[in-house]
Amino acid sequence: MAGLREHYRRKVLYFKIDSADATIVCVAAPASTEQIVVLSLVLTGVGADTVDFKSATTIIFPHVFKATDPGLVLPDGDNGYFETAKGEALNLTNPGTVALTGCGSYYVL
């Protein structure tokens, strides 16, 4: 992954999460030679649930919500927190169908 200096040369994009669906497509699949790098994230849920960020169907960042968990915050990271495989969408699975809200930033590498 590129360092912070490289982020300023790339166009930073944003995604929104506001759904209780079992599978949420956060960012559609880019071209087959590109991948999505997540730079920051804020995610909250109502109730206990296990949610996973996936590169298409492969888990790349798991997180567990508990009933008392205020959510997940990943501030702008120098190198990004996780990335998809080339040509794959960034998905979020929500098997408990808990209402999730949040947003994040990313760039396409």
- Of the chain, the end-to-end C-alpha distance in Å amounts to 9
Q: Which pTM was predicted?
A: 0.86
Domains and CATH numbers, the chain: 4-108 (2.60.120.340)
pLDDT the model gives residue 1: 52
pLDDT the model gives residue 36: 96
Average pLDDT (4-17) is 77
Cα distance between residue 41 and residue 57, in whole Å:
20
Cα distance between residue 3 and residue 14, in whole Å:
19
pLDDT the model gives residue 57: 92
What's the whole-number average pLDDT of the chain? 86
pLDDT in tens, 36-86: 999 999 998 877 778 899 999 999 999 877 666 778 899 998 789 999 999
Share of the chain above pLDDT 90, in %: 50
